[in-house]
Amino acid sequence: MTSPRQSPQGPCGPSEHPRRAARGGKQKGARTRADVVQTVARIFVAAGDPHRLRLLLLLLDGPLSIGELARATGRTVSLVSQQMRVLRDAKLAKASRAGRTIVYAVIDRRMHVLLETCIGHAMKSGRSP
């Protein structure tokens, strides 16, 4: 994956720099708002399950149908559908209809960066996912 354009604020542009907004502006050392902390915790809980993490990693390469996800993971369509509902509820994935098929995709390109960073960290520390 190509590296996002670097700006003085980091890999995302000034208009999409959530860390600064979560701290309540540009104040250095300001506490993160409680609602933002709760949202981030829900994201990590949803992505923290190994089966859901595998689904997210598969979706990094592009949208896949529920059947393709089930075949790739060796799980039933029903189980994958339940796991995808958790990811959708956490706003990590979205579903769209293509005829009679439901296709899933990762919502936010920043999720790619987050997951790749986590994978890089795990590989560097000797623990691969």
Backbone phi, then psi, for 90, in 5-degree steps? -85, 5
Among 11-15, 51-55, 123-127, the range scoring the smallest mean pLDDT is 11-15
| Residue-level pLDDT at 127 | 53
Residue 22 lies in a domain: no
> Which structural domain, as residue segments, surrounds residue 70?
49-124
**Tokens standing for residue 105:** 């995709």
pTM beyond cutoff 0.75? no
Residue 58: CATH number of its domain: 1.10.10.10
What residues contact 9, with CB distance under 8 A and at least 6 apart?
17, 20
Residue 33 lies in a domain: no
Name the helix (H) or strand (E) containing 73: helix 66-73
**pLDDT band, residue 5 (cuts 50/70/90):** very low
